[in-house]
C-alpha cells in the first residue's frame, strides 16, 4: 500500500456506513484503487493516526509496518467479509495440527507442557465442548469424529474482525486454540506468545539467549499485539 504523494492533512469523515480516511480532502485509496470503509470510530481514529505519522516519514512510499491497522481493516473489508466460509476453512488445518496437541516424549518437558497448556485446552472444552486429542512425540494425532464440524460451529458466529485477527494470530502462534483463547479474552497477548514458545524458552534457559531467537519472539509479540489491538478497536 502506498500513496502517490505526501499529504499535509489527514481527516476522518463519517459516512453512511462508517468512516473514511481522507488525505488532503481526498478519500484514501489502497492497492488496486480500493477504498477503505471503517465501521467503528475507535479503529478509524487509530488508522487516521497511522497515516498522520506515516506522512511525517521521509521518502515517497509508505512502509507496510507503519500502517498495520490499515492493512488489517482492508483485509477484513475486501477479503474476509466477502468470503467468511473460505477463511474458516483456511483455519481448520491449524486446529487439526495444533501446537498444543503435541507433547514431548521427555516426561519433565511433557509435565511442563501439560501444566501450561492444559488449562487453555480445558477452557476450550468448557466454552465450546471441544477437547482436542493429544499426541506424544512422533505418534500420529487421531482426529475426533466431527472435529472439523465443531470448529466450524465455533468460528462461524465470530464477527469479521475476529476472523481477520485470527488470520494473523493463528500462524503467528502456531495454534488455533491459543489464538481463539486470545480473541475470547481468556488470555492476553503476552501470555499467548509465551505459551506458544515454551520450547524456545526451555532452550534459552538451558543454553543461554540467542539474539536471533529473541528478535523472532519480539517480532511475533508485536504482530500479536497489533492483531489484538485491531480486534479491541473494532468492538462495539
| pLDDT 10s digits, 70-82 | 999 999 999 999 9
Check residue 205 and give its pLDDT. 79
CA 11 to chain centre: 28
Check residue 162 and give its pLDDT. 99
Check residue 3 and give its pLDDT. 47
C-alpha cell at 236: 462495539
Check residue 141 and give its pLDDT. 85
Q: How far is CA 148 from CA 15, 98, 126, 135, 167, in A?
A: 39, 13, 18, 18, 17
Residue 25 burial by Cβ neighbours in a 10 Å radius (0-12, 13-18, 19+): exposed
Confidence band, pLDDT 50/70/90 cuts, at residue 51: very high
Check residue 1 and give its pLDDT. 47
| pLDDT 10s digits, 112-170 | 999 999 999 999 999 999 999 999 988 888 778 899 999 999 999 999 999 999 999 99
- Domains of the chain in sequence order: 10-62 (3.30.2180.10), 83-233 (1.10.3580.10)
Amino acid at each position: 500500500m502506498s500513496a502517490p504523494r505526501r499529504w499535509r492533512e489527514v481527516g476522518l469523515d463519517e459516512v453512511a456506513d462508517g468512516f473514511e480516511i481522507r488525505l488532503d480532502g481526498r478519500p484514501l485509496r489502497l492497492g488496486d484503487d480500493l477504498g477503505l470503509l471503517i465501521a467503528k470510530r475507535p479503529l478509524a481514529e487509530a488508522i487516521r493516526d497511522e497515516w498522520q505519522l506515516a506522512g511525517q516519514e521521509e521518502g515517497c512510499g509508505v512502509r507496510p509496518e507503519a500502517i498495520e491497522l490499515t492493512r488489517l481493516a482492508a483485509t477484513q473489508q475486501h477479503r474476509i467479509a466477502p468470503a467468511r466460509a473460505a477463511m474458516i476453512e483456511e483455519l481448520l488445518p491449524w486446529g487439526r495440527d495444533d501446537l498444543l496437541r503435541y507433547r514431548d516424549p521427555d516426561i519433565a518437558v511433557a509435565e511442563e507442557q501439560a501444566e501450561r497448556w492444559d488449562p487453555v485446552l480445558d477452557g476450550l472444552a468448557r466454552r465450546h465442548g471441544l477437547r482436542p486429542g493429544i499426541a506424544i512425540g512422533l505418534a500420529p494425532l487421531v482426529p475426533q469424529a466431527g472435529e472439523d464440524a465443531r470448529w466450524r460451529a465455533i468460528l462461524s458466529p465470530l464477527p469479521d474482525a475476529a476472523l481477520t485477527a485470527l488470520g494473523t494470530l493463528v500462524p503467528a502462534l502456531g495454534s488455533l486454540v491459543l489464538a481463539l483463547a486470545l480473541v475470547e479474552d481468556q488470555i492476553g497477548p503476552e501470555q499467548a506468545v509465551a505459551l506458544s514458545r515454551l520450547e524456545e524458552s526451555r532452550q534459552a534457559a538451558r543454553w543461554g539467549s540467542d539474539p536471533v531467537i529473541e528478535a523472532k519472539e519480539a517480532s511475533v509479540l508485536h504482530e500479536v499485539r497489533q492483531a489484538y489491538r485491531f480486534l479491541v478497536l473494532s468492538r462495539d
